[in-house]
Structure 1
Amino acid sequence: MNAWEWAREVFETSLRASWLILALVLLRPVLRRWVPAQFVFLGWLVVAVHLLVPVGIPTQWSLPHFAQPIPLMGETLKTLPTTSAQGSENAGVGAGVAARQASVTSGDKPAAATFSVKHWLVIGWAAGVAALVMMRVIASALFARTLRRGRVACDDRLRAEVLAGSRLLGLERVPEVVVSKAVEAPAIFGLWRPTILFPAGFAEKFSEMELRLMILHELGHWRRRDIAANALLQAARILHWFNPLVWVATRLARQDCELACDEFVMRRASSAETRTYGATLLKVLGVVRGQNRSPQVLGILENKQQLKRRIQMIMNYRTSTVGRVVAGVVLLAALTFVAATREARAETAEMNKEPENVTKMTNTPPPGWYTNGDAKSSFAVGLDPTQPHVKPVSAYIKSIEPVVNGFGGMMQSFSAENYRGKRVRFSAWVKSADVNETANVWMRIDGPGKAEDRTLQFDNMKDRAVRGTTAWEKHSVVLDVPLEAEGIFMGFFISGTGHAWFNDVQFEVVGADVASTNIWRAASKSVVLKSKAPRNLDFGGGAEK
């Protein structure tokens, strides 16, 4: 999978996840009444996993149309009506001769703009990811330095309460306690080695019960693995930095994480402690000067504006009943199902259809196509349904000898009558494996006269032919059809050894804004033309229309 395919998967996943985020945002006020906060928070984690794992089970249903896969610009070309064509297997000899002079690039002039857009999209996305990662690394380094330099002596009461709270929750590792000027409110820090942070001079302002409840809140974050969950959410935000809904989701998820941790504390607190807990939050709000700014710490006071909701939840706290838990499980199951499925791409659905005339690989050209080349006996030509792309079956050309001096391929020809005075484009998706010289798409326009003077326009991708092993890429040739033109010849060939596949073949009339790729006047032999248009460009049928 190349860089564009990775980026495209990220963009499509972000679109699909946007609908999940919107659904959670809209349902969140209702869900907080009927579902424990822990299940709402887990719903955000399902979204984060979906964003980080851009795969899914293909289905025939989908979320609204806007969540469908992103089409590549320039991929869709209209095909002209086709009829029967008859050509000469020697008509492409000139193409093979020119192929000897070809050097290598990929793409073609008409597709250059499309490639440029994809190129810059990938660069922009990767640059955004790199910038956010760098900012996160720098912020972590600065926080660690501030934490180290601002460290002061720790109150023994804090260590005693942390030890007691760790035993109450059955924690195997007792977190370290650090008092530092680096934080404004109590928080927990450390993905692998937990550290509970307190501001300098903070403990003296609170009673033992209040400290115990605050410490129980921070230990709850560690027991619930909230630090790891927060890292997961931050990774999803970095990968999908371009989607504002993902930023909204990570912010709301952090708020719901605090609500879930409040529930965690109240399930383990006595009635008196539950009443004290809400008052403690208000007292913390009055004592601290600001909020902890580092994204890598989780504190008891994450958002001052959210504190009102948290206190309301504490006052109206209800223990989790079977009905509320079942509702939460149903919510998670629904979110997981939607996140784990994706609509089958149009081309994937097409690939899964049984081709009308092809059920297995063949070693003969499809109807309407003919072998050609000065070494055509050194090549196998046919259809390969195991290599689908846009269309369910591909044509292939493969060398069958260890050394090949020459070229071989498949082609067709038809009358130029319906295309005179127009500019035409012949294109196909090409994939190659171990091509030691070149794999080419070619087209030629012939006129009247002697054989050596018949060629009017010609292009065989000179200086941009395919070589080596490449993924699917679109290539095309564009020629003008003069008024005196009589025949159009086009096809594919390999020069030397290797294997190439050709898919989604298109022949169309284009406007003057599409640049011509005419490169050479090739010689050809006299031929008989019996068709007025190309035929069987999808390699799927052979009946003459």
Structure 2
Amino acid sequence: MTDLWSFLLQTLTAAGAAAFLLVVKYLFRDKLSPRWQFGIWGLLALVLLHPAGQGGRYVLLNWPLWLETLKAALTGDYSLIRVIAPIPLPAPLGGPQTPLDVLYFVYVTGVVVLLAWYALTYLRLRLALRRGNPADDAQLRRVAAQYDLPLCRAVEVEGLPSAFVCGVVRPVLALPAGQAVDDKVILHELLHLKYHDAAWGLLICLFRCLHWCNPLLWYCADRAGNDAEALCDQRVLERLEGEDRRDYGRILLSMASGKYARAPGTSSMANGGRNIRERIEAIARFKRYPAGMALASVCVALVLLFPLVLGQGQTLAKANGLGHSGELEFHTAMASARLTPCTTAAGALDTYGKAVIEQDGIYRALCAPIDQQADLAAQMESFAHGPDNWVHEHWESGLPGYPDQAAGYFLYNLTETDSGYTAVVVFPLQLAYLDGPDAPPVRESEEGHAYTAWQAVRAERQGDRWVVLPQGDFHLAELQQAYDDGVSLLTWGDPALPAAVTYAADVDGLRLEIVYQTIHTVDNTVETSNSMSWFFGTSTSFDTTPKPNALFDSARESYDFIGTETVPGAADLVNRYAAAPVWADGSGPSLEFGSGQGSSSDGTFWGNARDSGSLQSGGGSGLGGDPNEAPVWPDHYRMVLSYVDGREEQTVELRPVEGGDVP
């Protein structure tokens, strides 16, 4: 905890868990044993020790979302509330800068003062014990031997109202001087010693200090101390019989004292007189719980473990069409985006693609760096200054046209780098602004052209989230392939779009080039239905909802070959050609002329220049292996040419072009 917001997130998360546990404990108060009633507080201890909100998760109530919303609305601060540790850490140097900084300083001061007070209380108690005299341990040895319990050093202290164990590392049993101590009192304290209850008391004191301004957690600390004493009473009663068991309640009255109640590191955490009544009532209800109840207790604890300790992840609270009264909802949606990290590179790239398609700033916030959230929010809020003061999620991505939402996006040339991945995101357009956004748009259907916009991006991991950073403006491209359905066939590449690698060579008056591309996809196909689906069946469409945890479901490679003349008439002399990839270790498929024109799944392709009238071919296939691993590209291509004039076949290597189209 480094500021007031992180403290509030930690203490409110714990308070929600505490309230839930109190309800559960009330429901099982007569059904499960004191062992369970005390042990279940361990779940609250885990919540208190675990930094709240890590990984965007929350416990029971979505405190992270509410606090992020409140912080942004009150302060305009879009940084993410982070609980680094469950204890207060030093704030940045320079002293408090804002009223919230002052409040955090007050909180930290309260923690320090309370810790100091508890420490002084413990030191004062230890000094009092040092003035005590060694106790006659004959009675102690007899009780310990009778019940097979451990012993520790014992002292008698003047003015001590009741016995208790003090200390965790070197415990001391403190006894009232000049007073006879009943064997059952000795038994009670030796059981505290055996089960290290002083250590539990010390932990409870620590939680009191850390959450001194949370009354619910103080109440739970009192209840935990009472439950520790009730458990010790249960253990005593299990070792007593008949009249001794009935007499134990009277003995408790002699142990009631508030002088050292809640003293840290002692077994006197709940020995105050106000707690004795509940303990005596519990003694009156004493029963031995069957062995089978232990399994039931464990099962209940395990069921509670998941919602209380593991919590649940955030889901995106989408802000759609928020009006004037929806400004708070806008802040909520932005907070939800900050708290819903993209956990994979594929998820971040998928989210960015859909943010562009939908022109949705909330989606963009999902995959944007935290330090860009404020500027992004300001851009969206700038649209709120119209005549209706409309607040919505519109975001200007710079796309030069209107995207084809049914076609979605395509991810080309995924490349692994030291900091993450680079790629080219391609968007088929319904309307393209050929000369800028102020120019009249050209409809694809009117002109018979298929236009796309592409942008180089970088995906990198920042903390626990993947983010996407554009690496330049959008570029328009008109597809070179004369496809009836150019959009769907973008899954197999197009030479008009950037290449991952361009391989080239010059031979016999020809410039030979192979444009190599990779295409990765996330499964975004959804089935849609309508009132006539029972007759016509369902149809499929592109799912525009972000998938921040997505993985790539497929990866393909595409290669397009073209030979151009550098010497007029050189292409007319070529008869057939064939090419095959060669990998870095020198391996590759065999190079053979096929019949006609075609390609194979191993990356080879071939053609007959005399039949087709051109030196142009290509193909594609699945990359194979795990699509979420960055692809390995061919080291080079080997191509063989045969000629119509009967000259010897020519074999040439096409090597990567320096400074090619790799993004």
1:184 alignment partner, SS class:
coil
Offset of 1:306 from its aligned partner? 2.4
Report what 2:171 is aligned to. 194
For 1:32, what is the secondary structure of its paired residue? coil
Residues 300 and 58 of structure 1: is their aligned pair in 2 closer, same or farther, counting only changes over 3 Å?
Answer: closer
Assess if the C-alpha contact under 8 Å between 1:62 and 1:343 holds in 2. Answer: yes
1:251 Cα offset (Å) = 0.5
In structure 2, the CA distance between the partners of 1:55 and 1:61, relative to structure 1 (3 Å rule), is closer
Contact preservation (8 Å) 1:37, 1:256: yes
TM-score by length of 2: 0.45
Higher mean alpha-carbon deviation, 13-22 vs 218-227, is at 13-22
What's 1:444 paired with?
Answer: none
- Unaligned stretches of 5+ residues in structure 1: 80-106, 108-113, 368-387, 398-412, 421-498, 500-527
1:163 equivalent in alignment to 2:141: yes
What does residue 467 of structure 1 align with?
A: none
Structure 2 CA distance for partners of 1:228 and 1:23, relative to 1, 3 Å? same
* Structure 2 residue matching 1:351: 3-state secondary structure: coil
Q: 2:9–2:63: 8 Å Cα contact kept in structure 1? A: no
Q: 1:389 to 1:160 in 2, by over 3 A?
A: farther
Confirm or deny that 1:11 pairs with 2:8.
Answer: yes
Q: Which runs of 5+ in 2 are unaligned?
A: 77-91, 315-335, 358-362, 373-378, 387-418, 420-434, 440-456, 458-466, 477-663
Q: Any idea what SS the aligned residue of 1:63 has?
A: coil
Question: Could you tell me how far apart the structure 2 residues matched to 1:13 and 1:334 are?
Answer: 22
* C-alpha contact 1:55 1:340 (8 A) present in aligned 2: no
Give the direction of change, closer, same or farther, for the CA distance of 1:543–1:22 in structure 2 (3 Å limit): farther
Q: Are 2:213 and 1:242 equivalent residues in the alignment?
A: yes
- The structure showing larger relative contact order (alpha-carbon pairs under 8 Å, at least 6 residues apart) is 1
Q: Taking structure 1 as reference, are residues 76 and 68 closer, same or farther at Cα in structure 2, changes over 3 Å only?
A: closer
Amino acid at match of 2:2: A
Aligned equivalent of 2:224: 253
Identity %: 20
**How many pairs are equivalent?**
345
Deviation at 1:186, TM superposition (A): 1.1
Aligned to 2:651: none
Deviations, residues 144-203 of structure 1 (Å, cap 9, x unaligned): 233334x2463x3xx1222233334545x5211111135321111111112111122221
SS in 2 for 1:298: coil
Distance 1:34 1:41, change over 3 A: same
Q: Could you tell me whether the CA contact under 8 Å between 1:214 and 1:300 is conserved in 2?
A: no
Shift in Å, 1:64: 3.4
Give the letter for the 2:171 counterpart: P
* Paired residue secondary structure (1:196): strand
User: Letter of the aligned partner of 1:251 in structure 2?
Assistant: D
Secondary structure of the corresponding residue to residue 198 of structure 1: strand
* Amino acid in structure 2 at the alignment position of 1:392: C
Amino acid across the alignment from 1:322:
A
Distance in structure 2 (CA, Å) of the matches to 1:55 and 1:396: 21
Are the counterparts in 1 of residues 262 and 268 from structure 2 also a CA contact under 8 Å? no
Query: What aligned pairs does 1:140-539 form with structure 2 within 5 A after superposition?
Result: 140-149=122-131, 151-152=132-133, 154=135, 156=136, 159-171=137-149, 174-181=151-158, 183-203=160-180, 211-282=182-253, 284=254, 291-293=259-261, 295-296=263-264, 297-299=266-268, 302-344=271-313, 346=336, 347-352=338-343, 358=349, 391-394=366-369
Contact map agreement 2:257 2:273 (CA 8 A) in 1 = no
Instruction: Provide the rounded CA distance (Å) in 2 between the counterparts of 1:78 and 1:125.
Output: 20
Q: Distance in 2 between matches of 1:134 and 1:202?
A: 33
Q: What SS is found at the alignment partner of 1:302?
A: coil
SS of residue matched to 1:253? helix
Deviation, 1:289, is 6.7
SS for the counterpart of 2:155 is strand
1:48 to 15, 22, 45: 45
* Partners of 2:153 and 2:172 within 8 A in 1: yes
Say whether the 8 Å CA contact 2:151–2:190 is kept in structure 1: no
1:429 counterpart residue number: none
Q: Do the aligned partners of residues 56 and 221 (structure 1) sit closer, same or farther apart at CA in structure 2, a change above 3 Å counting?
A: farther
Does structure 1 residue 24 correspond to structure 2 residue 21?
yes
Check the 8 A contact 1:350/1:391 in 2, yes or no: yes
Contact 2:158 2:176 in 1 (8 A): yes
- CA deviation after TM superposition for structure 1 residue 531, in Å: 7.2
Task: Provide the C-alpha distance between the structure 2 equivalents of 1:43 and 1:239, rounded to a whole number of angstroms.
Answer: 20
Alignment RMSD (CA, Å): 4.6
Q: Confirm or deny: 8 A CA contact 2:262 2:270 kept in the other structure.
A: no
Change (3 A) 1:62 1:214: closer
SS in 1 for 2:251: helix
- Residues 78 and 38 (structure 1 numbering): CA distance in 2 closer, same or farther, change over 3 Å? closer
String of CA shifts for 1:275-315, please: whole Å, max 9, x gaps.
Answer: 23223224x16xx7754345122149713222222222222
Separation in structure 1 between the aligned mates of residue 99 and residue 60 of structure 2, nearest angstrom:
27
